[in-house]
Structure 1
C-alpha cells in the first residue's frame, strides 16, 4: 500500500493569515485517503500525501476550493497583477493622507491608554472597522456557532434559542479579550516598575510602533499583494495554535469556542493586545480590550443571518475594504508611535527661528527666572524662545474649551516632562542647557511645538547681548537687492491664516536675499539649501534672535512670528540677507526696502552670540 502513496505540492491562493493555514490543513487531514498534509501560509502551498485509490487530486482540490480558497496551477503560481498592486497602494496612500489631514486619524488611533481623557469610544470604532477582518478570518467559525443545532426540538425553537448560540459565542470572545487585556496590562505594570505611571512614554511609543507594523503587515497580507511579507506575519507557536484549533473543532459549546477565539492568531487583535500592554495598567488594558471587542460585535452578531445572502464576490470586496482600512490604521499607529517614542520627531518637526509665536507669548526675567506666558489653543501648541542656562517658568493659560483629548497632555522629552494640562494656569519649569531647537508634542504625537533656545546672556527682548566679550566686526558684505521675495498669505493645517515665502541658498549666496513679510502673522520661511556644502553641514545665523539653525540639504521650513526687521547670514558669515517686516505687504514700498537692505551694515558676530552653556524640570 505504501507504494501507492503519492505526494504533491499544491499552490493555494487566497490565504490571508495563519488561521487559513490551520483551517485547510485540518480539513485535508480529516479527508479519507489523505495520509499527510502540511500547509504553509508563508509559502502559499500545501504538501499532501494521498492514496489515489481512495481520493483523487481533483477531490483534494475541491476540498480546498470549497473552503473559499483557490488552487493555482501553471502560470497562476507566479502571476502578479502589477496594475492592481499599484492601484491598491495609491488608494492606501490617498486615504491615509486624506484622513490624516482631516484629523480623523487622530481620533481613530489610540495612544497612551492610561490617560482617562483619551476617549475610549474610539477603541469601539477601531473594533468596528477591523471586524471586517474578523468576518474574513473567523466568519466560518462564527456562522457555525450562530446556527441552531439540528437536535433542537420545536418547543425549543424560541427566539432566544435561535439567537442564543451567536450570543454565547460572542460573549465568550468578549470575556476572552477582556481577560487577556487585563493580564497584558498587568505585565505592562510590572515592566513599568509597578508604579501608577505605567510604562515610560518612549517604551509606549516603541510598542505602538510594533503594533502599527503588525497591522500594516496583516492588511497587506490580507490583500495578497506582496507574498514575501507572509514570512513576517506575527503568529503564535504552531503547536499551540494547532491545539487550540483542535479544541475549537471538537467543542460543541459556542461559549467555549468564543473563549478560545481570543487566543487565535489575528493581526488586528495582536496589535490591540500590544496597545493593552503599553497601557501599563491591568484595568485600563482590560477596558481597552473590552471596548475593542464590543466594537466587533455588530458585524459578528449579524453575520449568522446575512452571510448566506452574500456571494463570494461580495465577500471578497468586503475583505479588500477591510484590509485597506487595517493598513491605513496601521500606518497611523506607526506614525504616532514614532512621534511618541521620539524616533521620528527630528525628521517631522520643523525648525523655528522666533522671539515669539502664534501662541501669544511674552517673556520677562523675574528674580533670575525667565517667565514665559503662552495661551493654549485647541489645535496647536505655542512655539517659544528662551535663553540657555537660565531657569524657565513657562505659564500656559488654557481657556475653557481649549483642552481636548489630543492636546491634554504635553510631552517634552528632552527635559523628561509629561504635563497634563488643565483649564486655567499651567506651569512648566525647566532649565535649558544648550542652544538649538527642542521639539515637543502631545501624548498622541500628532500636535507638535518647538522651544528655541538662544545663547545665554541675551536680553529679555531677544536682542543681541551688548556685553559680549568681543564685539561684532564689520563683514564688508553688501546685501544684493536685485530681486525681492514677498510672502504670500495661506492657511496652516488648522485652517489658521499664515504667510509663506521661499528663498534659496547656493554657492553664490541667498536668492532672493531680501524678504518681505507682514507683521504679527506667522511666517513659514522655506530655505532651499542647494549649496555644494549642504552635505557637510550648513548653518543659518540670525543675530537679532541669537539663533543658530542647521540647514539640511533641500527644503528647510522655518517658522517665526515677525515683529522687527532683521538680517541673517550663513554660518561662515560669507553671505547675508535681510527680512523686512511691514504692516501691509500690498502697500510695501519696494524701492525703499531695497535701499534699506542695500545700506544695511552687515556684521560678523562672535561665536558666543549663538552658543549655549544642569537641568531640573517640573510641571504643575
Structure 2
C-alpha cells in the first residue's frame, strides 16, 4: 500500500470510523476542561490529544514492522486482510451514504469500561496514547499493513501517515457538529463515502494482483489497448532487464523478454521506503526484499508466452513482463 493511499484511508474511512469510536471519548474529556477555555486556544486540547495518539501509533507501527521482519506474512494472509479491510471500508461507506440501517453495524463502539476509564483521565495527551487499546477496524487493517512491511522504519511511517490522515477529522469534530448545517453535513458525508468506496475498490484490486487474478485493472487496460491499439511487443533487446524501484513504484512498468531463455531482472532500489521494497512475482512464487538503496537480481526462465505480472507485496505497485517467442 503506498503512503498516499494510506493517508487518504486515514482521512476518509479511518478518520470517520475512528471518530465514531474515539470521538465521544474526546468530546467528553474536552467538556471536563471547559473551564480552562479562557486560558487556552480552542484548538490546543485537541492538538494535545492528537500528539499523544500520533506518538503512540508511530511507536506501535515500528514494533509491528519489527515483528514483521521476523515473521513474514504469506500472500494468502495478506490477501485475506486486504479483502477484509476493504469490505469493512465498503460497509463504512454504506453508513456514510446512509444506504441502509444494516451498515450501522460497521461502526464499532468501544466497551463501556474503556469509555469510563478514558473519560476519567484529565490528561488529553494520555487519552491520545490510550486509544491504541481501542483501535477502529480500519486502524487494525493498517496495523496489519505495518506488519507486512517487515521493517521498523516503514512500519512506523505507515502508522504515522495513517494517524496524520485521521487528524483533520478530529480537528474538525467540533466545527462539523456545531457549525455546519444538516444539509451541508449530508453532502460532506456523501462525498466522503464515495471516496471511501474508491479506495476500497483500489485495495480489492491490490488483493486480486497478489492472487494472480486476471481480473485486475491493469489487465483490463492492457486488454483494451491490445484490442483497439496496435502495439509491437516483439522487440527484445536483451533478457537482462534493469528496472528502478522507488517509494512511488517501479519503472519501467512493462518490458518484453524471450520465451525459454533465462531472464535476469536487475532491480535498482533508490530511496525506497514503501511496499515497493518487497518485490514479488506471484505466478512464479518469487519474493525479494530490496534494500532502501542498492540492487537485487531476480532470475527465472519463462516456459510459456503471455504476460507475467509483478508487484509489491501489498499489490499496490504493479508491472508486467511480456513473454514472446
8 A Cα contact 1:414 1:438, kept in partner: no
Greater relative contact order (Cα < 8 A, sep 6+): 2
Aligned counterpart in structure 2 of residue 430 of structure 1, from 296, 300, 310 = 300
Output the CA distance in 1 between the equivalents of 2:177 and 2:57: 24
Q: Does 1:448 align with 2:319?
A: yes
Larger helix proportion of the pair: 2
Write out per-residue CA displacement over residues 95-134 of structure 1, whole angstroms, 9 at most, x where no aligned residue.
xxxxxxxxxxxxxxx25xxxxxxxx465334323443555
Deviations 1:31-50 (A, max 9, x none): xxxxxxxxxxxxxxxxxxxx
d(CA) in 2 for partners of 1:179 and 1:425? 29
Structure-1 residue corresponding to 2:285: 416
| C-alpha deviation, 1:282, in angstroms | 4.2
Residue number in structure 1 paired with 2:6: 123
Aligned to 2:215: 347
Partner Cα distance (2:124, 2:71) in 1: 35
Where do 1:343-492 residues align within 5 Å? Answer: 344=213, 346-348=214-216, 349=219, 358=233, 360-362=235-237, 372-374=239-241, 378=251, 380-387=253-260, 392-394=262-264, 410-418=279-287, 420=290, 428-432=298-302, 434-437=303-306, 439-443=308-312, 444-452=315-323, 462=325
TM-score, normalization by structure 1 = 0.41
Q: Which residue of 2 aligns with 1:338?
A: 208
Superposition pairs for residues 486-501 of structure 1, below 5 Å? Answer: none
- Preserved CA contact (<8 Å) 1:214 1:271: no
Residues 409, 421 of structure 1: 8 Å contact kept: no
C-alpha spacing 1:418/1:360, structure 2 compared with 1 (3 Å): farther
Q: TM-score by structure 2 length?
A: 0.72
CA deviations over 1:472-501 (Å, ceiling 9, x no partner): xxxxxxxxxxxxxxxxxxxxxxxxxxxxxx
Is 1:149 matched up with 2:33? Answer: yes
Is the aligned partner of 1:324 residue 2:324?
no
Is contact 1:410-1:421 (8 Å) kept?
Answer: no
Partner of 1:172: 52
Deviation string 1:423-447 (CA, Å, 9 cap, x unpaired) is 9998542234x43545222213553
Over aligned residues, Cα RMSD in angstroms? Answer: 4.2
Query: In structure 2, what is the Cα distance between the partners aligned to 1:246 and 1:149?
Result: 16
- 5+ residue gaps, structure 2, are 244-249
SS at match of 2:254: coil
How far did residue 336 of structure 1 move? 0.7
Corresponding residue SS for 1:310? coil
Offset at residue 163 of structure 1 (A) = 4.3
Check 1:405–1:279 CA distance in 2 against 1; reply closer, same or farther (3 A cut).
closer
Asked if 1:241 corresponds to 2:111, the answer is yes
Give distance in 2, aligned partners of 1:181 and 1:404. 14
Q: Is the 8 A contact 2:46 2:171 kept in 1?
A: yes
Q: How many residue pairs align between the two structures? A: 304
- Give distance in 1, aligned partners of 2:44 and 2:292: 47
Q: Work out the CA distance in 2 between the residues paired with 1:336 and 1:305.
A: 35
1:289 positional shift = 0.9
Distance (whole Å) between structure 1 residues aligned to residue 127 and residue 267 of structure 2: 54
- Following the alignment from structure 1 to structure 2, what is the Cα–Cα distance between the partners of residues 278 and 422? 16
Question: Is the CA contact (8 Å cut-off) linking 1:210 and 1:334 kept in structure 2?
Answer: no
Contact 2:52 2:129 in 1 (8 A): yes
Q: Residue 362 of structure 1 aligns to a residue in which SS? A: coil
Q: Provide, for residues 559-612 of structure 1, a one-character-per-residue CA deviation record: whole Å limited to 9, x for no partner.
A: xxxxxxxxxxxxxxxxxxxxxxxxxxxxxxxxxxxxxxxxxxxxxxxxxxxxxx
Change (3 A) 1:422 1:318: closer
Separation in structure 2 between the aligned mates of residue 357 and residue 396 of structure 1, nearest angstrom = 23
User: C-alpha offsets along residues 541-573 of structure 1, whole Å, 9 cap, x if unaligned?
Assistant: xxxxxxxxxxxxxxxxxxxxxxxxxxxxxxxxx
Structure 1 residues 379 and 146: CA distance shift in structure 2, 3 A:
farther
**Deviation readout 1:268-303 (Å, 9 max, x if unpaired):** 323322322322334432321122112222342344
Write the deviation string for residues 229-252 of structure 1: whole angstroms up to 9, x where unpaired: 566x485xx8x7222122233333
* Contact kept in structure 1, 2:32 and 2:122, CA below 8 Å: no
Q: 1:274 aligns with which of 129, 134, 144?
A: 144
Counterpart check, 1:284 vs 2:284:
no
Structure with the higher fraction of residues in strand conformation: 1
Choose from 72, 77, 87 the match for 1:213: 87
1:157 to partner: Cα distance = 3.3
**Aligned counterpart for 2:61 among listed residues 169, 172, 181:** 181
Say if 1:259 and 1:316 are closer, same or farther in 2 by CA, change over 3 A: farther
Q: Confirm or deny that 1:251 pairs with 2:135.
A: no
Tell me, in whole angstroms, the C-alpha distance in 1 between the residues paired with 2:291 and 2:129: 40
Q: Any residues of structure 2 matched to 1:55-204 within 5 Å, and which?
A: 110=1, 120=3, 123-130=6-13, 131-132=15-16, 134-135=18-19, 138-146=22-30, 149-152=33-36, 157-159=38-40, 162-192=42-72, 199-204=73-78
